[in-house]
Amino acid sequence: MIQHKILKNSFPYLEISNQYAHAKISLQGAHVFAYKAPDKPALLWLSPKSTMQEGKAIRGGIPICFPWFGRHKADSTLPQHGFARISLWKVVDEEERTNGTTYIRLQLTQTAQTRKLWAYDFEVNLDVIVGETLTLSMHITNTDTKPFEVSTALHTYLNISDIENVEVVGLDDTEYYDALTNSTHRQQGNLSIHTEIDRVYQHKQASITLLDSDREISITSEGSGSLVVWNPWKEKSITMADMSDDGYKTMLCLETANAREDSRVIEAGKTHSIDVIYR
């Protein structure tokens, strides 16, 4: 079942239910903010203090960073992580498939407002398949007459039992940039987290696994050569208005990305795609 719903403040979203899972997608940002299979913990973490409000990013779920990741390289006054996550997308296709899964396509194209922030014509389509797995495919098409460069991420907040309980498998011997120290290092063994972390792993494997105390989450991607790992830890969480002081304990961002050296130049008329499956 696909339901088009609106909150009391006129904030539109989709609610999807099928035999495999229950999911919610905000039309602002094409933002998947809930996915839960029966008898399993929720896949995605959502801050109870996050506001579902026009023009404000949702804290949790899977925000889309586009057309730049992090701060804009030349103008720090432009929106953090670009404008896609605070823009209204439109639903251009929806289908309840015979195999029991649900398919949604959302689309964002240039407007007068986006051209004030980024002077290019573009089309971004996000395909979401809700089934036994959650699949996202983002297709970025250059509809302009000149090439443009993008750095992007599916800024996924994963729901975990406790940050002290988890390990990330699949990053051993992978080089990473540490944004907290502005330095480059190489991962040794599995990644466990006991303090604030903000890293971009380059040339990562196509599949990584999050080991939690009571389950495993596998993330398989294509079209992405970088992975962002982020947790703000206690001190920073206290300063964030849309996050509880202890929110850091039950979330970890593992973000399928084209970040830093993995940014992509898309020629006029060409398309670049990022695909990710969470299982």
Give the active site residues: 155, 255
Burial (CB < 10 A; 0-12, 13-18, 19+), residue 157, is: buried
Do 130 and 20 contact (CB within 8 A), yes or no?
Answer: yes
The one-character DSSP state at 153 is E
Count of other CB atoms within 10 angstroms of residue 91: 16
Burial (CB < 10 A; 0-12, 13-18, 19+), residue 109, is: middle
Do 58 and 33 contact (CB within 8 A), yes or no?
Answer: yes
Rounded to a whole number, what is the largest CA-CA distance in the chain? Answer: 51
Dist CA 118 CA 113 (whole Å): 9
Dist CA 40 CA 205 (whole Å): 26
DSSP secondary structure letters along 61-101 = SBPEEBS-SSS-SS-TTSPTTBSGGGSBPEEEEEEE-TTS-
